[in-house]
Amino acid sequence: MEKKIIISNLSMVYTGPEEDDGSGLGVLSGVSFEVYDNEFVSLLGPSGCGKSTLLRLIAGLEQDYEGEILLCGENPRHKRIPVCYMLQKDCLMPWRTMLSNVLLPIEIRKGDLEKACEEIKPLIQEFGLQGFENYKPRQLSGGMRQRAALLRTYLMDGEVMLLDEPFAALDEITRMQMQDWLISVWEKHRKTVLFVTHDIDEAIFLSDRVLVMSGRPGTVTGSVQIDFGRPRVRDMILAPRFSEYKKEILDLLGRTKADL
């Protein structure tokens, strides 16, 4: 199977403030993993372990690292590879309507907005946003804002989706509904997804595979294959196998020292 993301021995140090000793802050250390075409992989790790930094490196937004990244077979240092990237914050523009926020990627690549508007109608429906096209972000519910941000991400050019804790700010019930919804959309459209989370249940429920990271400097300490069939159903969280996966992940997390 084709590998969409290959990370080899990646390390990264942020330069600290000038008054510091100059050694900087080691954020990532010797990170290696691969993500296959159409795979849904979660990256699970404690807060501050470098998950968002890792996504920024893969998206080509930071160049100052050691090791190698290959995205769709190319090195993002040498060639800009389009990628669908959703930041930890939804980053919807408050002065734009939901629809014009969603259409932003098309506007940026100077596409035909009228045509896109027609074409994305079924997606607006599928993302549960119909009837709210002219609402401003502040007039939408939290779940709706996240779905609008996800649809905008989906409309970016790119075969790989990088999602940075898209549901972390939602209440538990909305988060569960969003997970159910995301997994049904993904099972239909299938893109390669790298999904950052610090929620173990969320990672198991959604993923084909969970990569567990240590505390900072973050490194991948284990990979757990989640062999539940698809479509995924909510009840699977009650299955004994779910608890076994959870225990395996907790053991991997527990082996590392928390850096609080």
Q: Which parts of this chain interact with ligand ADP (CB under 6 A)?
A: 14, 25, 27, 45, 47-53, 216
Q: In the structure encoding, which two tokens stand for residue 87, read together?
A: 């930041």
Question: Which of the 8 DSSP states describes residue 121?
Answer: H
**Binding partner at 53 among ligand ADP, Mg ion, none, C-beta below 5 to 8 Å by kind:** ligand ADP
Question: Which is closer to ligand ADP, CB of 25 or CB of 123?
Answer: 25
| CA 217, chain centre distance (Å) | 20
Residues 6+ apart with CB under 8 A from 10: 28, 30, 31, 32, 54, 57, 65, 66, 67, 68, 69
Question: Which is closer to Mg ion, CB of 52 or CB of 174?
Answer: 52
Shortest CB 198 distance to ligand ADP, Å: 8
Shortest CB 38 distance to ligand ADP, Å: 25
Shortest CB 220 distance to ligand ADP, Å: 13
Shortest CB 93 distance to ligand ADP, Å: 23
Strands (E), the chain: 3-14, 25-36, 40-44, 66-71, 84-86, 160-164, 192-197, 209-213, 220-225
Could you say which residues in the range 49-78 bind Mg ion, by CB under 5 A?
52
**Binding partner at 27 among ligand ADP, Mg ion, none, C-beta below 5 to 8 Å by kind:** ligand ADP
Q: In the structure encoding, which two tokens stand for residue 204, read together?
A: 């198991």
The candidate with the shortest Cα–Cα distance to 120, out of 108, 106, 134, is: 106
**Binding partner at 48 among Mg ion, ligand ADP, none, C-beta below 5 to 8 Å by kind:** ligand ADP
